């Protein structure tokens, strides 16, 4: 079993690893690349507590957390090994099962899980670049996932998961970003899926790897009956370029108008902000300035950055400071936010618990009615 492998690697007797919910996995040889990686970081240079809080785990802690998370569908199905614990509910995971064996996946609590490094060596290169910065390893992720080396095997697994039950949805969504979109025989099926999360993932894949050859598939996504998938399809069309591209949240079928408007400023790297510049329609959440993200929570209120002409910037880079319209994703929460939002209310755009931009309400729109 998988836990036997853990015990063997950690030099522990049978029964000394804590089992969560009775989960275990099939025994498999420990890949040489993983063993070499764990030896390389054994000096603790990148452990939690460093200025950049990379939180890379040593051999023992990696094994312990991997065992504890053994029931997670992505970890279980793809043979994941947890590599870090930066205390933000997101993890980098080494994959040991085909078709993504040898790559590193970012396991995100908000559902945007995907392969971010093709190998442990690529991850360590990013770690070396990150450790002297004020940012996080997430800032060094590529915009899109590196395509899987074995596209045929990936396509076969995706086809299998597409016919499976909801338990495999998380795995399917994590696999889609690794597709070579132009060559994939699965893309049209995914784009037309009745599961809007799947269709959205297909559209996001196209947005991150735009190609004129994918225009038709982007149109399919943009015509999806669910607005979340349709919005992603419209962003894919914008990334490809072409006529009649919808480029604003206000144009989604159900959307009325933004809840409010803020003046924003992205924090610098020295202030703990992002290393990479901001991008239009990135789904940063909102944190009220006086709230604790752990105790009080964060809110799905997404920014859309606008220029002096009050029109949204197109998909792409946006200024580090300016104005943004704020769209409340869950309309049923509007009454709550109406009690808290007023001119002068301060808050932050956040990635998880990390504050990336300071903002102040300068106008109330939809919440005023």
CA 336 to each of CA 301, 308, 324, 360: distance values in angstroms, whole numbers, following the listed order: 13, 30, 21, 18
| pLDDT exceeds 50 at position 94 | yes
Contact 103, 95 (CB under 8 A): yes
Percent of the chain whose pLDDT exceeds 70: 84
Q: Which residue has the higher pLDDT, 225 or 43?
A: 225
Q: Which residues contact 69 (CB under 8 A, 6 or more apart)?
A: 20, 75, 80, 82, 91
CA distance 143 to 244: 25
| pLDDT exceeds 90 at position 212 | no
Residue pointed to by tokens 């800032």: 139
Which one-letter DSSP state was computed for residue 324? E
Closest CA to 286 of 309, 308, 303, 311: 303
pLDDT tens column, 177-210: 999 988 788 899 999 999 999 999 999 999 988 8
Q: Which residues contact 238 (CB under 8 A, 6 or more apart)?
A: 207, 245, 246, 247, 314, 315
pLDDT tens column, 100-140: 999 999 998 877 899 999 999 999 888 888 877 767 888 88
| pLDDT exceeds 80 at position 148 | yes
Assigned CATH for 260-368: 2.40.30.10
Q: pLDDT value at position 242?
A: 55
- pLDDT band for position 247 (50/70/90)? low
Q: pLDDT value at position 365?
A: 94
Cβ atoms < 10 Å from Cβ of 298: 20
Break the chain into its structural domains and give their ranges.
Answer: 2-140, 151-246, 260-368
Strand partners, 321: 265
Q: How far apart are the first and last CA of the chain?
A: 59
């Amino acid at each position: 079993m998988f836990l036997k492998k853990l015990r063997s690697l950690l030099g522990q007797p049978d029964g000394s690893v804590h089992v969560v919910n009775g989960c275990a996995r099939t025994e498999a040889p420990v890949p040489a690349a993983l063993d070499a990686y764990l030896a390389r970081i054994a000096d603790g240079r990148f452990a939690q507590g460093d200025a950049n809080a990379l939180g890379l785990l040593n051999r023992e802690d990696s094994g312990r957390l991997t065992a504890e998370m053994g029931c997670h569908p992505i970890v279980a199905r793809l043979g994941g090994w947890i590599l870090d614990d930066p205390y933000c509910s997101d993890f980098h995971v080494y994959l040991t099962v085909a078709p993504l064996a040898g790559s590193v996946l970012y396991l995100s609590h908000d559902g945007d899980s995907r392969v971010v490094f093709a190998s442990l060596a690529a991850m360590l290169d990013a770690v070396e670049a990150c450790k002297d910065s004020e940012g996080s390893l997430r800032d060094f992720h590529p915009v899109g996932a590196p395509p899987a080396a074995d596209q045929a095997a990936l396509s076969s697994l995706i086809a299998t998961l597409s016919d499976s039950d909801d338990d495999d949805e998380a795995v399917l969504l994590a696999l889609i970003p690794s597709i070579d979109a132009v060559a994939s025989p699965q893309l049209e099926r995914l784009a037309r899926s009745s599961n809007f999360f799947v269709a959205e993932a297909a559209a996001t894949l196209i947005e991150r790897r735009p190609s004129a050859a994918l225009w038709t598939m982007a149109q399919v996504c943009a015509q999806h009956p669910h607005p979340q998938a349709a919005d992603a399809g419209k962003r894919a069309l914008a990334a490809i370029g072409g006529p009649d591209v919808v480029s604003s949240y206000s144009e989604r079928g159900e959307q009325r108008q933004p809840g409010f408007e803020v003046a924003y400023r992205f924090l610098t790297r020295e202030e703990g902000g992002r290393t990479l510049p901001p991008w239009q329609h990135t789904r940063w959440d909102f944190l009220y300035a006086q709230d604790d993200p752990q105790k009080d929570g964060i809110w799905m209120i997404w920014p859309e950055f606008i220029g002096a002409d009050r029109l949204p910037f197109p998909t792409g880079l946006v200024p580090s400071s300016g104005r943004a319209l704020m769209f409340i994703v869950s309309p049923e929460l509007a009454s709550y936010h109406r009690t808290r939002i007023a001119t002068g209310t301060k808050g932050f755009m956040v990635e998880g618990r990390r504050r990336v931009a300071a903002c102040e309400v300068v106008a109330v729109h939809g919440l005023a009615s």
